[in-house]
């Protein structure tokens, strides 16, 4: 494997460079995935049947906490990648661990939110609105859950193998994924919650 030392470790081999590029293409596809969910959400938003509407079930406090937690985790993983680039393995692992804990916290709040909705009579089967709400939030939440396992796997690999071209490459790609989820959440926060409560 040819390693080019003039580049950051995560870009240093040809395969690494391709992996990062390929992941950007994948993220572009993810944009369309979430855009389709938003398309359906905007179409079905006011079709509530006999169920509750958005303004009846949304609450600002949990949503705001979730937003702040996720924004902070996006910041900490950015610091993690910075630490990785200057070769500070220990600092990097700390930042990654903080990120994952924040992600777990986010997920906890989201699960709590879902339970509240179900108690208020807004289940997956209630109406078109509740179904698309839960599917959009659920798709994002499933991405976060997947990310938690993925991130944990990467932390384990770095502990075992140190900062190699492979592990740094995986970490960088994971950070792209995590930032992307943050962007998606911002759109959910703005166009589902805030628009619904406006």
Binding positions for another protein, 93-122, rule CB under 8 A: none
Contact with another protein (CB under 8 A) among 16, 51, 113, 155: 51
Instruction: Report the distance separating Cα 134 and Cα 111, nearest Å.
Output: 11
- Please choose, out of 68-76, 98-106, 113-121, the segment that lies near another protein by the rule CB under 8 A: 68-76
Token pair, residue 60, equals 């600002």
Contact with another protein (CB under 8 A) among 12, 73, 99, 126: 126
- For another protein, which is the closer residue by CB, 33 or 115? 33
Helices (H), the chain: 14-44, 54-57, 60-85, 89-119, 128-161, 165-188, 195-197
Taking the CA atoms of residue 68, residue 72, residue 73 and residue 75 in that order, the dihedral angle to the nearest 10 degrees is 150
Contact with another protein (CB under 8 A) among 88, 109, 114, 148: 88
Token pair, residue 25, equals 């293409």
Q: How far is the CB of 50 from another protein (least distance, A)?
A: 7
Contact with another protein (CB under 8 A) among 62, 89, 104, 150: 150
Q: How far is the CB of 137 from another protein (least distance, A)?
A: 14
Confirm or reject binding of residue 89 to another protein (CB under 8 A): no
- For another protein, which is the closer residue by CB, 30 or 109? 30
Confirm or reject binding of residue 31 to another protein (CB under 8 A): yes
Kindly give, in sequence order, each residue whose CB lies less than 8 Å from that of residue 13, ignoring residues fewer than 6 positions away. Answer: 1, 2, 3, 4, 165
- How far does the chain reach from its first CA to its final CA, in angstroms? 56
């Amino acid at each position: 494997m040819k390693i080019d030392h003039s580049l950051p470790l995560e870009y240093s081999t040809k395969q690494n460079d391709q992996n990062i590029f390929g992941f950007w293409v994948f993220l572009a596809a993810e944009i369309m995935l979430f855009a389709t969910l938003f398309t359906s959400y905007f179409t079905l938003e006011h079709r509530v049947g006999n169920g509750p509407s958005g303004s009846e079930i949304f609450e600002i406090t949990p949503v705001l906490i979730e937003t702040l937690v996720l924004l902070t985790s996006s910041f900490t993983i950015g610091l993690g990648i910075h630490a990785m680039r200057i070769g500070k393995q220990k600092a990097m692992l700390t930042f990654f661990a903080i990120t994952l804990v924040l992600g777990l916290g986010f997920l906890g709040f989201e699960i709590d939110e879902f339970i509240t909705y179900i108690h208020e009579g807004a289940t997956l089967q209630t109406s078109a609105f509740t179904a698309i709400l839960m599917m959009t939030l659920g798709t994002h939440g499933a991405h976060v859950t997947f990310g938690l396992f993925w991130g944990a796997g990467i932390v384990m690999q770095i502990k075992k193998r140190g900062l190699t071209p492979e592990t740094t490459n995986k970490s960088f790609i994971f950070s792209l994924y995590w930032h992307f989820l943050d962007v998606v959440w911002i759109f959910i926060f703005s166009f589902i919650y805030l628009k619904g409560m406006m």
